[in-house]
């Protein structure tokens, strides 16, 4: 072990833990680029990949250059003293190699891998090989259950009640913000439903991004317990709670590869539910061209698997297969989706009826799962239309911490229909891409407001949708993109 002085490189890697050593120090310690080292500050430590500085201007002798992710993890600053020691590859690497050759992994082996991922002992390349191994060789049912448990056990767990409800959508549909309607309905009915949601990675908005237009979502476990105790519910960012952290790190390497192994998808969803002690879970599987379940056969297979894994984990799981062929609601992007939600909760006559009906249907199914209601749809509809759900949502927002200072993007681009006809279909991926080009989800007021849906009759010059953004430059980029494809198939 050697003691070195921290040099803050003031650079982010995007997640990889990097440390830089002066070439003379590296030679003395017989360390090389790509070696794995452990850096310690007190009782806190982090495993890093080593790079070598050839010039003392970058990192001088006696210094250790640290990127922002390492600085934040260790809570250190310039000139702080840290200890550095060499470490070998973790046992997980050998286990991943065995999985690549088709070995079925035990719970203990999957726990080892999840623990090494959670504590950043593995490089992105090693994590990628794990994802690849699971994708090419598959996970059997026992491995899926064991991976789910391992991801939960290597993070935090939080339990609220012997009857805890939850819901999840596997994604792929812009504007599908049912969670923010279902949660207050269920809570207003007197049930516990703590919702930990994700931020967008490849979509224009995640539930956490949309909720953040209305309330704080980065809460501590203590704060979340307080919110749920007071209101019966919460809608927060799960990443702030260390729930199944290995899952989040696996997702980070999945997306650049566009790989979503079925076993990991199942384990990912169920780990988040298992970690909050959910007893009754409703899963939404949208089916459409650009969704993960793009055929009935795939959707029904996923339904069967979710229900099977749920039983093995002691959870009551019900799956609803929904229409994922086009965007749902009017808004696409954090604030525009939040406005849809509030319009529905306030019973505004101009609120999107497709999103309202889907949310009521899902809330009704959850209510029926508890065994206390026979006609859940009727009960959910009454709670929503009576204003009880809106009152509950305001209670949740105020308890989490109200935020309401946002406006839609000031630059707007109306997109008109080029010809007369009927909207045959809308490409979810194109709509999502336009919204992201506009700045969503980073710029919360950016995105699209959709005026025409599939099967609508349209006249030449009619408004299809409006783009909102914070930049004229982005408007110009989108104009060029729209020359190739606006996402609408009109006949």
Catalytic (active-site) positions: 260
Helix (H, G, I), strand (E, B) or coil at 21: strand
Q: Measuring CA to CA, how many Å separate 60 from each of 6, 24, 66, 153, 203?
A: 10, 9, 13, 41, 43
Cα–Cα dist 384/369, whole Å: 19
Q: Are 358 and 177 in contact (CB under 8 A)?
A: no
Please give the angle made by the CA atoms of 395, 401 and 407, to the nearest 5 degrees.
100
The first and second tokens of residue 243, run together, are 């729930």
Please give the DSSP secondary-structure letter assigned to residue 213: T
Per the omega criterion (within 30 degrees of 0), is the bond before 125 cis? Answer: no
CA gap 489, 429 in Å, rounded: 13
Partners of 66 in beta bridges: 8, 19
Contact assessment for residue 188 and residue 204, using Cβ atoms and an 8 Å cutoff: no
3-class state of residue 326 by DSSP: coil
End-to-end CA distance of the chain: 71
- Give the CA distances from residue 55 to residues 22, 60, 72, in Å, rounded to whole numbers and listed in that order: 7, 8, 25
Concatenated DSSP letters of 103-159 = PPPPHHHHHHHHHHHHTT-S-HHHHHHHHHHHHHH---HHHHHHHHHHHHHTSB---
Helix (H) or strand (E) holding 117: helix 107-118
CA angle at 174 for the pair 169 and 175, rounded to the nearest 5° = 85
| CA 205 remoteness from chain centre | 9
Helix (H/G/I), strand (E/B), else coil: 13: coil
How far apart CA 353 and CA 293 sit, in angstroms, is 24
Report how far apart, in Å, the C-alpha atoms of 401 and of each of 187, 200, 216, 249, 448 are. Answer: 18, 21, 5, 28, 27
Instruction: Give the integer Cα–Cα distance in Å for 19 and 181.
Output: 45
């Amino acid at each position: 072990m050697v003691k070195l002085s921290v040099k803050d490189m003031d650079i982010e890697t995007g997640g990889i833990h990097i440390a830089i050593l002066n070439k003379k120090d590296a030679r003395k310690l017989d360390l090389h680029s790509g070696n794995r080292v452990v850096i310690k500050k007190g009782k806190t430590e982090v495993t890093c990949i080593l790079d070598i500085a050839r010039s003392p201007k970058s990192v001088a002798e006696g210094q250790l250059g640290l990127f922002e992710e390492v600085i934040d993890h260790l809570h250190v600053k310039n000139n702080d003293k840290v200890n550095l020691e060499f470490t070998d590859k973790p046992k997980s690497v050998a286990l991943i190699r065995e999985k690549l050759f088709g070995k079925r992994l035990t719970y203990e082996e999957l726990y080892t891998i999840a623990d090494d991922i959670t504590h950043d002992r593995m490089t992105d390349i090693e994590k990628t090989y794990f994802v690849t191994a699971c994708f090419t060789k598959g996970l059997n049912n026992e491995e899926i259950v064991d991976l789910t448990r391992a991801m939960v056990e290597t993070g935090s767990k939080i339990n609220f009640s012997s009857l805890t409800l939850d819901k999840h959508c596997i994604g792929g549909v812009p504007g599908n913000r049912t969670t923010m309607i279902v949660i207050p309905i269920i809570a207003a009915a007197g049930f516990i439903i703590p919702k930990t949601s994700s931020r967008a990675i490849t979509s224009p908005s995640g539930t956490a991004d949309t909720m953040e237009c209305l309330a704080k979502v980065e809460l501590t476990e203590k704060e979340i317990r307080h919110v749920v105790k007071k209101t019966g519910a919460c809608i927060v960012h799960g990443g702030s709670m260390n729930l199944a952290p290995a899952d989040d790190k696996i997702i980070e390497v999945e997306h650049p590869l566009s790989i979503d192994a079925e076993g990991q998808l199942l384990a990912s969803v169920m780990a988040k539910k298992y970690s909050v002690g959910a007893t009754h879970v409703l899963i939404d599987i949208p089916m459409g061209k650009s969704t993960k379940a793009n055929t009935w056969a795939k959707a029904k297979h996923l339904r069967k698997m979710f229900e099977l894994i749920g039983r093995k984990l002691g959870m009551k799981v019900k799956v609803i297969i929904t229409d994922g062929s086009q965007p749902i609601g009017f808004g696409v992007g954090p604030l525009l989706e939040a406005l849809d939600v509030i319009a529905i909760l306030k019973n505004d006559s101009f609120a999107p009826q497709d999103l309202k009906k889907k949310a009521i249907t899902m809330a009704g199914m959850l209510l029926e799962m508890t065994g206390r209601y026979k006609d859940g749809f009727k009960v959910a509809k009454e709670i929503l239309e009576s204003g009880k759900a809106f009152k509950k949502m305001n209670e949740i927002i105020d308890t989490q911490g109200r935020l309401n200072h946002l406006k839609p993007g000031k630059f707007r681009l109306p997109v008109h229909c080029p010809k007369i006809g009927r909207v045959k279909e809308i490409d979810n991926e194109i709509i999502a891409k336009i919204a992201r080009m506009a700045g969503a989800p980073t710029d919360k007021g950016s995105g699209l407001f959709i005026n025409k849906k599939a099967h609508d009759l349209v006249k030449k010059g009619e408004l299809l949708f409006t783009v909102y953004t914070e930049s004229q430059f982005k408007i110009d980029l989108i104009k060029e993109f729209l020359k190739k494809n606006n996402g609408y198939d009109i006949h």
